[in-house]
Amino acid sequence: MKKTLIVSLMIFFFTSCEKDFEETNTDPNNPIVVSTADLLAGSERALIKQLFGMNDEWGFAYIPHVYMQYWSATLYTNTDRYETIPYDFTDLYVNSLNDLQHIIDLNTNEETAVSAQIDGPNVNQIAIARILKAYAFHNITDIWGSVPYSEALKGNEDFTPAYDEQEAIYDDIIKELTEAAAQINEEAGGVEGDIIYNGDMALWKLFANSLKLRVGMRLTKVDLSKAESVVKDALSEGVFTNQSENALYAYLSSSPNNSAWNQQYEFGAPEYACSTVLIEKLQSLNDPRLNVYAQPSEATGEYVGMPYGISNAEAGAIGYSNVSLPGVRMLAAEEPAILMSYSEVLFLQAEAAARGWTDGNAEALFVEAIAASMEYWGIEHDDSTFNTYIEQEGVAFDPVNFEKSIGEQKWLSLYTQGPEAWSEWRRLGFPLLQPAVAAVANREIPRRKGYPYSEYNLNRQNYDAAIAAQGPDVMDTRLWWDVEQ
Amino acid sequence: MKKSFKVLGLMAMLCPLFSTHAQERAILGKIEDQATNAPIPGVSIVVKGTMNGTISDSNGRFSISTTSDDAILVFSFIGYVTKELPVGNSTTIDVEMTEDTKTLSEVVVTALGITRAEESLGYSVQRVSSAGMDQARETNFVNSLAGKVAGVQITGSAGNIGGSSRITMRGINSISGGNQPLFIVDGTPLDNSNYNSTVTTQAQGGRDFGNTIQDINPDDIESISVLKGANAAALYGNRASNGVILITTKSGKSRKGVGVSWNSTYSLEKAYILPDYQNEYGGGYVQEFSTLDNGQFVADMAGDESWGPRLEGQAVRQWYSFYPELTEYFGKATPWVAHPDNVKNFYETGSTRTNNFSVEGGNDMSTFRLSYTNVDQKGIVPNSSLKRNTFSINGEAKLSPKITASAKVNYVNSSVVGRPPTGGWNADQALGLSFNTWFQRQLDLSMMKNYRSPTGRILNWNLSSPDNLDPYYWNNDYFVLYECYSNDSRNRIYGNVSLTYDITPHLKVTGYARTDFYDYIQEDRLAEGFIYQTMYEKSLNRFQENNFEVLAQYNKELSPSFSLSVNVGANTRRTETDYTYGKTQGGLSSPNYFNLKASSDPAILEDEKTELVVNSLYGSASVGYKSMLYAEVTNRADWSSSLPVSSNVYYFPSVSGSFVFSELLKSSVFPFAKVRLGWAKTGNGTEPYRLGNVYLAERSYGGQPVFTVPNSLNNASLKPEETNSVEAGLEGKFLNNRLGFDVTAYSKVSTNQIIALTVSGTSGFSEAIVNAGELTNRGIEISLMATPVQATNGFSWDIGMNFARNRNEVVELAEGLDNYLLGTTVVSINAPVGQPYGTIIGNGYALNADGERLVDDDGYYIVQQNKNLGSILPDFTGGITNTFSFKGLTLFALVDFQKGGKLFSRTSETGTYSGLMIETVGNNDKGIPVRNPVDDGGGIRAIGVTEAGEENSVYLDAPTYIKYLADNISEEFVFDATYVKFRELRIGYTFPKKWFAQLPIQAISLSAVGRNLAVIYKAVPHVDPEAALGSGNFQGIEDSQVPSARSIGFNLNVKF
């Protein structure tokens, strides 16, 4: 019996030796190696989800849609009234930027670069990741100002990255876009897993330059000469020349890849309707985009705007069925998100010409930009109706006050592109918008968002340093490029 | 798995081989009291080192058989000194037993199931009597411990059938790991997972599915030992940090004939803590009605708030008047009146029927007990029910004089239908029961009970508009409960088989094979007609933990003064989990076809399995000197597969000692007094797969696979968490043992915390697994017992009191980090350095230097962001029991309490926002109703001063003021969770035997029982201060929970 016990003791304890342990502790649920194509698709999707929304997440974009008074809430008007100060940016870092950084690392490290090439030349993968990072960071800094940049995305090397000032971030974004465009090797081949351009490197080059054009123009209020040189530089390298080059993200028909607008209006109670400000502006100009941007109210069959910036009680008493919801095309599952359009590039070129930086015809470019916007939305634009539209007072280009002409038309053309619309309103000062009538604590239209609570809790020192340099963490604090003039 | 079956099979095959008996002879005798010479019945006589035993009869006589001349008989009886006599070659042994003046030779079950005299322990082990748990029942038996053990805090959800119960002992030891104790039943560790969804644990609604330890059946519990401290639990090594609850189940005893018993309880449950609602104003956002084209007033049906018109009986078109098929009401305006009891009447009277049948028997060679328990419960929420069947078999047989085999096997099958939805709002499932958050006060819920109209259409109150009868935010609650319900079921087997070999009378070796195994299926559905897309989801969780243990035990009296006890054991544990989950997307392809195959778009799938192996060696040695001095050392080594191979072994030692100094005093005033002291190191292991980095699969983009870098960063050099604990205690008894106390003080330092540290997402990761930080717990536990009355006529009154105070501090987190975020809803729950764990941080009132609230020029309170609003941990907890007995009658009453601890109440916050609660009506300081227009003297004035120091004089209209508070000042909704509760009452009567002498019945007792009878004191309005979000670490949030229920019933116990 004793022997039996000793034997069984040995069986118990020596069947699992330590080598087994390593095997036991190898995660059977998740792979250790994946294709960079799959990471690229994921990081593009996450970027769009955070900025423009997808499926059941609104993303950031609904906030500037409301601030820019395209939309009014049908009941909970808290955003319309500027109630909430902070908004979280960390998901952009965690879900998109970190994966983009990972793609760069996998294509850079000698151990992994060779296998990464299966999905496209290392340089081209790196270039796409850098352009998308620049795109993400320029959006982030335009919303918050100083943010972690140079010390960000370093994992356990730095859990509390310092904040870089906006000027430094802009300088680096311009550098990144320039270098990324330069390193693209079109002959070497495309890149797999790219939802935006399906790996077409020529288009990525155009997007990099067009984005540089946008970013350069952003500096007009703070550093005119730098703005001029960056804009000229970008134009000389080649920007979008037609609609087919637009930077679009294609949503898919079914969950989880459908658009947020689709999900929200198809399956939930409508939370936002087109605002009175938008509807009345489109009506007063007889703008054909009205039929695309909005739909007639369910109750009356007329185009009726939802009053902007009123109290919850007042809004609740109106009810969504009495006002115009966003247009049918806007609510389609597959309607793409627009990262940047040909129309915007034309507006930027018109402005460059109006500023005398190029010898282009500012007015002609301005008209082309409007035409491109109409074209995008499937509206006839080489007929007399279009001519009447562009020649009427309130649209016709005013070279003296080009900021007003461009600002107002850009606002109309950037519907659905909330973040960019908000930035350009802050830069150009047009259209003239009135703050919400029932604004919380008499707040003005926000000029930035507050930092997320998590940064206050988890990265306090750097948060404190950032607001000490930039100004209080409120929505009235102006960003570096948004100096008061 | 395979291995365990082999071992089981082997043991089963071996059994018949040992069934022949060895040569035996009988020993007869009589036992008398030394002082009185009166015979003592009921004395237990055991052949030492064997299971062979008997009990003396009413004349003090006994008969026992033995096979060996070396045998030693052990005579023990409560109140007498245990006596050991060698048999030698005699056939009769008469014994005189002396009364034990200490009467303290109480025996407790300690680590590894070793039974020890309590006086020999150098640490505190609190024994909980199982009495009453099988009478005044809780579906989750953990709740039955509330108030009974010093230093054990239990938070349960009393109104929810089989809901979660969270238990923590001596504070919080792990910042982000588990803080639940290890449960061990007859030596077998039992899993206590909680399968609540993240949504539920993060206070965003969902359903509470409860923790799995509720599978333990109170009818089968013999006793419970609570090993609160590190010393008591040290032998459990890397699972010991949070303490251990040791449960011993009932087993058969040597007896005459077969014992049959029937234990039956029937109780009724009723919701008893409901909010105080206002009943003056109905639904809507403004106090005026809209008018229809025909001039009729129409209620605002789309709104889900109660800021609407005053309830004055006005004729109004209400929701039911828009359904043409409701001919009685269609087109008619009906009085706009209050229904104050609408919510109260919505909750039904729940009932619980429990029946236990057990059969036991035994002789010198074998004992057995069979038990079957059936629980049939109907919840207070419509269409909720629980059924549970438990089968238990305990058997033990002496296969030979030296070999004993035993098997303890339990099978539990439980199924629940209709777990009630919790929470005020759920991101993707507005499941309902929003009476405390989003509702219209005037609604008559009874009109919705038949939730389908004669045409089959679902009747909803929350109509989008008079022309559009689709629900806007909320469905009819009855429709949701009857058609959008969850169901879940678990089949579980746990237990062990063992073989003991008595090598010598002093040395025995036992081999155990243990398992805990279950399959748990959860299903949930949203039916056609629900406001969101139809949906079906299903998960299957499989859990198995097998343990194989060998334990050698050596006990010897080395000399009349010295005793020695040594235990050495080895164990290998393999834990495997397997989880599969599917959820339909894009709706169901056919209405109410609840199956994963019905998914219109590709379904969401999850598939995850884990495996963990821990090998351990452990041992303990204790020496005793003259019942006066005791010392014990233990050590355990654990090799864990979840740690880096290069450093996967950790040691968990302990030392303790006790000194019964009353032995020196020999004072009659102080018959018993003892001091104890101990130090121990215990651990808290880690989950598998936290060392290397992997990629996570996400749902694909069309045909393009999508992978992502995880948000959590793993750590290749992980160590187990470690708790170093010092414990000292003093206990004593006076006045003929009618007064006693036990005081324990402890100090614990928990380091190497395995923290899933929330880090700034700008690092690229939202979470990183690190070993860092330090958490301390210091506390004191006091138990008092007294017998104020012990009359000669048999009347006695016993009081038991326990009290515990624990002070927790987060001393350090990882470098550069001063806060750990446990979770966020409206407020966040944090572990900030220098503060207690569970600190609530949220927006509060900004104060001036004088402590007055600051108000801005427009009359709004100024907000101070990120204000510390206190810790969720209580200042102290405790309970008081009173037991009165007289002849066959006993009365037991338990009152328990908690002082302090903060709770954020979503019911208060949202319920005031939406105008439901009583505080949204009434008069302002001018004596005018607050809801009247400000211009007419109504409105509310914020009490505070401007920054210039002037008293605020601005009145804001009531909804503006209250909604501003709810949206901006979370501090207003953080309350002191202090409570005093009348937790339990049992009045039992054991009928005199003569009443049924002719019947084949041994005993009958009948009790009236009640649980959660009353809240004697609470400071939180509207809700029960006890609120648990599952059993995780994110607590301190009342998320519009199901109301607590009071339970009153009867228990009948018959023994045949």
Residue of B nearest to A5 (CA): B511
User: Is the distance from CB of A112 to CB of A36 less than 8 angstroms?
Assistant: no
Residue A447: how many CA atoms within 13 Å on its side-chain side? 20
The pLDDT of residue B468: 86
* Chain-chain contact of A313 with B285 (C-beta, under 8 angstroms): yes
Six token digits for residue A183: 């390193």
| Whole-angstrom distance, CA of residue B505 vs CA of residue B403 | 12
Confidence class for position B580, pLDDT limits 50, 70, 90: very high
Identify residue A409 by its one-letter amino acid code. Q
pLDDT 10s digits, B491-546 = 999 999 999 999 998 999 999 999 999 999 999 999 999 888 899 999 999 999 99
Smallest CA–CA separation between B708 and chain A, in Å? 6
* Chain-chain contact of B501 with A147 (C-beta, under 8 angstroms): no
CA distances from A17 to A10, A27, A394, B236, B575 (A): 12, 19, 82, 21, 16
Which residues of A are less than 8 Å from B462 in CB distance? none
User: Is the distance from CB of A181 to CB of A209 less than 8 angstroms?
Assistant: yes
The pLDDT of residue A8: 53
The pLDDT of residue B364: 79
Out of B464, B710, B959, name the one closest to residue A321 (CB).
B464
| Whole-angstrom distance, CA of residue B956 vs CA of residue B953 | 10
The pLDDT of residue B9: 40
Six token digits for residue B448: 């919705």
Smallest CA–CA separation between A471 and chain B, in Å? 17
CB atoms within 10 A of CB A483: 10
| Whole-angstrom distance, CA of residue B621 vs CA of residue B120 | 13
How many residues make up chain A in this entry? 485
Which residues of A are less than 8 Å from B866 in CB distance? 453, 456-457
Range scoring the smallest mean pLDDT among B245-249, B427-431, B685-689, B1021-1025 = B427-431
pLDDT 10s digits, A205-230 = 999 999 999 999 999 999 999 999 99
Out of B757, B764, B821, name the one closest to residue A97 (CB).
B764
- At residue B466, does pLDDT exceed 70? yes
Single out the residue of A23, A463, A159 nearest to residue B713, CA to CA. A159
Average pLDDT of chain A to the nearest whole number: 94
The H or E element spanning position B395 is strand B385-400
pLDDT 10s digits, A158-199 = 999 999 999 999 999 999 999 999 999 999 999 999 999 999
* Chain-chain contact of B473 with A311 (C-beta, under 8 angstroms): no
Average pLDDT of chain B to the nearest whole number: 88
Phi/psi of residue A329, each to 5°? -65, -35
The pLDDT of residue B35: 67
The pLDDT of residue A197: 98
CA distances from B969 to A81, A474, B275 (A): 17, 18, 21
Q: Are strands B1037-1038 and B902-905 parallel, antiparallel or unpaired?
A: parallel
User: Is the distance from CB of B501 to CB of B550 less than 8 angstroms?
Assistant: no
**What integer is the mean pLDDT of A338-353?**
98
Among B301, B763, B920, the residue to mutate for chain A (most A Cβ within 10 A) = B763
Out of B427, B611, B763, name the one closest to residue A152 (CB).
B763
Which residues of B are less than 8 Å from A24 in CB distance? 611-613, 641, 688
Residue of A nearest to B472 (CA): A269
* Chain-chain contact of B641 with A25 (C-beta, under 8 angstroms): yes
Among B762, B765, B766, B956, the residue to mutate for chain A (most A Cβ within 10 A) = B762
The pLDDT of residue B2: 41
Smallest CA–CA separation between A459 and chain B, in Å? 6
- At residue A75, does pLDDT exceed 90? no
Q: What angle is formed at CA A418 by the lines to CA A416 and CA A421, rounded to 5 degrees?
A: 110
* Chain-chain contact of B307 with A147 (C-beta, under 8 angstroms): no
**What integer is the mean pLDDT of B866-873?**
93
CA distances from B19 to B68, B69, B365, B399 (A): 18, 22, 10, 5
Question: What interhelical angle do A98-108 and A122-144 show, nearest 10?
Answer: 150
- At residue B183, does pLDDT exceed 70? yes
Which residues of A are less than 8 Å from B531 in CB distance? 269
User: Is the distance from CB of B975 to CB of B1020 less than 8 angstroms?
Assistant: yes
Which residues of A are less than 8 Å from B954 in CB distance? none
DSSP, res B133: T
Out of B609, B693, B818, name the one closest to residue A28 (CB).
B609
Residue of B nearest to A312 (CA): B285
Among A255, A298, A474, the residue to mutate for chain B (most B Cβ within 10 A) = A255
Out of B472, B501, B866, name the one closest to residue A5 (CB).
B501
Residue A73: how many CA atoms within 13 Å on its side-chain side? 24
The pLDDT of residue B565: 92
**Straight-line distance from the first to the last Cα atom of chain B, in angstroms, rounded to the nearest whole number:** 40
- At residue B1045, does pLDDT exceed 70? yes
Range scoring the smallest mean pLDDT among B8-17, B70-79, B514-523, B1015-1024 = B8-17
Out of A20, A155, A319, name the one closest to residue B302 (CB).
A319
Highest-scoring range by mean pLDDT, A170-179, B109-118, B174-183, B720-729? A170-179
pLDDT 10s digits, B662-701 = 888 877 777 889 999 999 998 887 889 999 889 999 999 9
The pLDDT of residue B11: 37
**What integer is the mean pLDDT of B144-160?**
81
Which residues of B are less than 8 Å from A31 in CB distance? 694-695, 697, 707
Confidence class for position A9, pLDDT limits 50, 70, 90: low
| Whole-angstrom distance, CA of residue A131 vs CA of residue A109 | 19
The pLDDT of residue B102: 43
Question: What interhelical angle do A122-144 and A418-428 show, nearest 10?
Answer: 60
- At residue B7, does pLDDT exceed 50? no
- At residue B907, does pLDDT exceed 90? yes
| Whole-angstrom distance, CA of residue B764 vs CA of residue A156 | 9
* Chain-chain contact of B701 with A41 (C-beta, under 8 angstroms): yes
| Whole-angstrom distance, CA of residue A380 vs CA of residue B610 | 61
- At residue B12, does pLDDT exceed 70? no
- At residue B429, does pLDDT exceed 70? no
Which residues of B are less than 8 Å from A93 in CB distance? 761-764
* Chain-chain contact of B688 with A27 (C-beta, under 8 angstroms): yes
**What integer is the mean pLDDT of B55-69?**
79
Phi/psi of residue B179, each to 5°? -120, 15
* Chain-chain contact of B706 with A42 (C-beta, under 8 angstroms): yes
Single out the residue of B920, B898, B845, B915 nearest to residue B1016, CA to CA. B898
CA distances from A316 to B263, B279, B302, B464, B914 (A): 58, 22, 9, 11, 13
Confidence class for position B239, pLDDT limits 50, 70, 90: confident
Residue B25: how many CA atoms within 13 Å on its side-chain side? 11
Which residues of B are less than 8 Å from A79 in CB distance? none
Q: Are strands B902-905 and B44-47 parallel, antiparallel or unpaired?
A: unpaired
ipTM: 0.93
The pLDDT of residue A394: 93
**What integer is the mean pLDDT of A107-119?**
95
Spell out the residues 6+ positions from residue B9 whose beta carbon is closer than 8 angstroms to its own: none
User: Is the distance from CB of B531 to CB of B471 less than 8 angstroms?
Assistant: yes
The pLDDT of residue A13: 52
**Straight-line distance from the first to the last Cα atom of chain A, in angstroms, rounded to the nearest whole number:** 96
pLDDT 10s digits, A346-383 = 999 999 999 999 999 999 999 999 999 999 999 988 78
Out of A30, A56, A90, name the one closest to residue B761 (CB).
A90
Confidence class for position B10, pLDDT limits 50, 70, 90: very low
| Class of residue A21 by CB neighbours under 10 A (exposed 0-12, middle 13-18, buried 19+) | buried
- At residue A269, does pLDDT exceed 80? no
- At residue A15, does pLDDT exceed 70? no
* Chain-chain contact of B709 with A99 (C-beta, under 8 angstroms): yes
* Chain-chain contact of B689 with A25 (C-beta, under 8 angstroms): yes
The pLDDT of residue B667: 77
The pLDDT of residue B376: 96
Q: How many CB pairs under 8 A join A and B?
A: 246
Out of A5, A195, A321, name the one closest to residue B701 (CB).
A195
The pLDDT of residue B13: 38
Smallest CA–CA separation between A406 and chain B, in Å? 35
The pLDDT of residue B51: 65
| Largest Cα–Cα separation, chain B | 110
Confidence class for position B221, pLDDT limits 50, 70, 90: very high
Spell out the residues 6+ positions from residue B547 whose beta carbon is closer than 8 angstroms to its own: B188, B189, B512, B513, B514, B515, B571, B572, B573
Range scoring the smallest mean pLDDT among A254-258, B430-434, B710-714 = B430-434
Question: What interhelical angle do A402-413 and A362-376 show, nearest 10?
Answer: 10
User: Is the distance from CB of A383 to CB of A375 less than 8 angstroms?
Assistant: no
- At residue B18, does pLDDT exceed 90? no
* Chain-chain contact of A456 with B814 (C-beta, under 8 angstroms): no
Smallest CA–CA separation between A431 and chain B, in Å? 29
Out of A95, A193, A317, name the one closest to residue B704 (CB).
A193
Instruction: Classify B736 in phi/psi space as left (phi over 0), alpha (psi -120 to 50) or beta.
Output: left
The pLDDT of residue B770: 87
The pLDDT of residue B89: 79
Among B760, B860, B920, the residue to mutate for chain A (most A Cβ within 10 A) = B760
Among A94, A137, A164, the residue to mutate for chain B (most B Cβ within 10 A) = A94
The rounded percent of chain A whose pLDDT value lies above 90 is 85
| Whole-angstrom distance, CA of residue B439 vs CA of residue B455 | 26
* Chain-chain contact of B704 with A56 (C-beta, under 8 angstroms): no
The pLDDT of residue B934: 95
* 3-class secondary-structure state, position B266: strand
The pLDDT of residue B36: 67
- At residue A128, does pLDDT exceed 80? yes
User: Is the distance from CB of B469 to CB of B463 less than 8 angstroms?
Assistant: yes
The rounded percent of chain B whose pLDDT value lies above 90 is 61
Phi/psi of residue A130, each to 5°? -70, -40
| Whole-angstrom distance, CA of residue B94 vs CA of residue B83 | 12
Phi/psi of residue A135, each to 5°? -60, -45
| Whole-angstrom distance, CA of residue A374 vs CA of residue A241 | 16
Residue B546: how many CA atoms within 13 Å on its side-chain side? 15
**What integer is the mean pLDDT of B164-186?**
86
* Chain-chain contact of A39 with B307 (C-beta, under 8 angstroms): no
Six token digits for residue B63: 């008969």
Smallest CA–CA separation between B630 and chain A, in Å? 31
pTM for the model: 0.83
* Chain-chain contact of A252 with B828 (C-beta, under 8 angstroms): no
Range scoring the smallest mean pLDDT among A307-316, B27-36, B270-279 = B27-36
Confidence class for position A105, pLDDT limits 50, 70, 90: very high
* Chain-chain contact of B763 with A39 (C-beta, under 8 angstroms): no
